[in-house]
Structure 1
């Protein structure tokens, strides 16, 4: 049987200090630190990534770029998608169900409450809240993304669990 693996990452902590639109909000220093910490820990898990998709929001793209630099992803792997700039989850679910079936392991960078809802809907472990820079891996026993519905929560990584 084939598997599809979905790696979900919530953007790192953003700064409210700047008078910018929601989509342009940058990361806080702590956000950069936490995203780097999770990316370094995740690197040791040795997942082979086929594609990376990010919300076009600055805070999601910046988080994605931290992971790209630490994990050595090619920029060619990464695409922005408006559907991932979603807070309810409906657009993100639609996005997941339409991922190219040639791709087996995909990373998405996005926002709450969409991501917490999707993890609880599709995974088999309940989480209260996906914190900023939090990462969850869902594994589906399917051969087409359109059947991504009930998977196993294979890995949960929250920054607080890795901070010194």
Structure 2
């Protein structure tokens, strides 16, 4: 069985004059990152690996989860291809995960994550909110074989306030 944890980056700030890739989190994003990651850490078995987009806002969000879940540096990586908004790169990365990993967390962006969650899960989600967390489970032994799985759980910031 394969389990995928998906996290959309927390709320980012538009007030800085920086390239989109370098946009930081705003205060609400930092608060939501701490809140959701703490709840997730009490709820799930930690992933064997966290893979994050290298965009500033996604990486900052991923670090909240890395800390809360006590993930070692060796089990944390960035992948520029997760700076994807269509979902094609996200799907390619998921399908190419090593089969020795059963639980993986991916941190990235919308519209890609809403598309992927609706493509792979069995429950329609209109929009994965910022800092939204979703668990998808698959009855497969190989990541390359996954198709539709089960949407096991969602944790959204609004559910915790």
Tell me the TM-score normalized by structure 2.
Answer: 0.98
Report the counterpart of residue 71 of structure 1 in structure 2: 69
Report the counterpart of residue 153 of structure 1 in structure 2: 151
Deviation by residue 1:14-46 (Cα, 9 ceiling, x = unmatched): 001100001100000100101111111111113
Report the counterpart of residue 141 of structure 2 in structure 1: 143
Report the counterpart of residue 14 of structure 1 in structure 2: 12
Q: What is the CA RMSD across the aligned residues, in angstroms?
A: 0.7
Q: CA deviation at 1:75?
A: 1.5
Q: CA deviation at 1:67?
A: 1.2
Q: 1:41 aligns with which of 17, 39, 42?
A: 39
Please say if residues 138 and 149 of structure 2, whose CA atoms lie closer than 8 Å, have aligned partners that are also in contact.
yes
Q: CA deviation at 1:64?
A: 0.4
Q: CA deviation at 1:71?
A: 1.9
- Residue 44 of structure 1 aligns to a residue in which SS? helix
Partners of 1:152 and 1:100 lie apart in 2 by 20
- Residue 32 of structure 2 aligns to a residue in which SS? helix
- The answer to whether 1:96 aligns with 2:94 is yes
Report the counterpart of residue 116 of structure 1 in structure 2: 114
Partners of 1:125 and 1:53 lie apart in 2 by 24
Q: 2:28 aligns with which of 23, 27, 30?
A: 30
Q: CA deviation at 1:48?
A: 3.0
Deviation by residue 1:28-80 (Cα, 9 ceiling, x = unmatched): 01001011111111111131311110001000000001111222211111111
Tell me the TM-score normalized by structure 1.
Answer: 0.96
Partners of 1:78 and 1:72 lie apart in 2 by 11
Would you identify which runs of 4 or more consecutive aligned residues in structure 1 move more than 4 Å? none
